[in-house]
Amino acid sequence: MHRKHPLFRSVSHFVCIIPVLLVLSIHLPAQAQSFQPGFTYSPASAFVDGKALYIWGGFLAGSPSTQNFMIDLSVSWYTTNPVYKGLLNGPDCYMCAGSMSADGQKVFTLTNGRGFIFDIQKSLWTQIFTDVKGQELGGATDPDTGKVFIPVIYKEPDVGRHMLIVDLHNNNYTVDSSPSVPEWSTYKITWSAPLKKVLFVNEYSMYSYSPQEGWKNFTGPSGLEARSIVWSPQDPKSSCLADTP
C-alpha cells in the first residue's frame, strides 16, 4: 500500500482550500474603514493625478474645521465607499486658498493671512508667514517654477484683487500690485500649461495673468463662455464653482 508523505497531504489540503477562500473573499462585505471624514462645505483641496485628492478645512459643525484627509486615487473603490485616509489636522480653514507643490509632495494653504505648508511624507504642517492683509479663495501652481499664484482682495490702499506669488523654495511671497481684476466674491483659477499663464474665471468674465504681462482680458475660442454658480453663506448647499460648457 502506497502512502503519501505528510508534506504532500498538507499541500493537497491547502490547494483544496484556495477555491473556498476565493469564494469567501468575493461574498464577504468589505471591512469598514477606520477613518470617516466629517461632512464639510467650502473646504480647500489639491489634486495629484492618479494618486490622491487632498481635502482640508471647510465649515464643520458650525465653525471652521481643522480636518485634513485624502482620498486615495491609486486604487479602485466603489463610488459609495471612497478610500479615505486621515491626515494630521491643519490650521482652521474656511473658503481658504490652496494648491499643490509642483513635485506633488507638499500642499500650500493660505488662511486668515497665514501661509502654511503640509509635507505629505513627513505628515507635518509648517507655518511660513503670518502677515498677508487680504482675503483669498483659490490658488494655482506653475509646474516650471513651482510658484503658487493666489488672487487676494486687498482693502488698502485701494480695493482690488492683486496677485500674491508664493515661492515655496524660499518660503516667502511677493505681491504684484499692478492693475487687477474687479473684486468679485467667487472665482476659479487654474494654470494653463500651453499658455504658461494663470487663467481666472469669475461670475462674468475670464482673465489671464502672468508676471510679465500682468492681468489681461482673456478671449477663448468661439462659443466658450464663463458661467458660475455663486456661493451663498445663507445656502450651504450652493457651490463656489465656475466652469465652461
Which of 87-96, 126-135, 215-224 is modeled with the greatest confidence?
A: 87-96
- Domain range 42-243, its CATH number among 3.30.70.20, 3.40.50.10240, 3.30.470.10, 2.120.10.80: 2.120.10.80
| For residue 107, pLDDT beyond 90 | yes
Residue predicted with more confidence, 225 or 88? 88
Mean of all residue pLDDT scores within the chain: 76
CB-CB contact of 73 with 83 (8 Å): no
* pLDDT (0 to 100) of residue 9: 43
Write the CB contacts of 231 (distance below 8 Å, at least 6 apart in sequence).
42, 95, 185, 186, 238, 239, 240
- Beta-bridge mates of residue 119: 106, 124
| For residue 72, pLDDT beyond 90 | yes
Write the CB contacts of 91 (distance below 8 Å, at least 6 apart in sequence).
57, 66, 109, 111, 112, 114, 116, 125, 127
Which H or E run contains 12? Answer: helix 6-27
A 10 A CB-CB count for 83 gives 16
Q: What's the grid cell of residue 62?
A: 458650525
Question: Which residue, 138, 140, 141, 134, is CA-closest to 157?
Answer: 134
pTM beyond cutoff 0.75 = no
| Domain residue extents for the chain | 42-243
Average pLDDT, integer, range 71-96: 90
* pLDDT (0 to 100) of residue 225: 54
| For residue 100, pLDDT beyond 90 | yes
Determine if residue 104 is left, alpha or beta; phi over 0 gives left, psi from -120 to 50 gives alpha, anything else beta: left
A 10 A CB-CB count for 78 gives 8
With H, G, I as helix, E, B as strand and everything else as coil, classify residue 120: coil
Integer Cα distance of 209 and 202 in angstroms: 14
Which H or E run contains 116? Answer: strand 114-119
With H, G, I as helix, E, B as strand and everything else as coil, classify residue 148: strand
Q: What's the grid cell of residue 191?
A: 494654470
| For residue 228, pLDDT beyond 50 | no
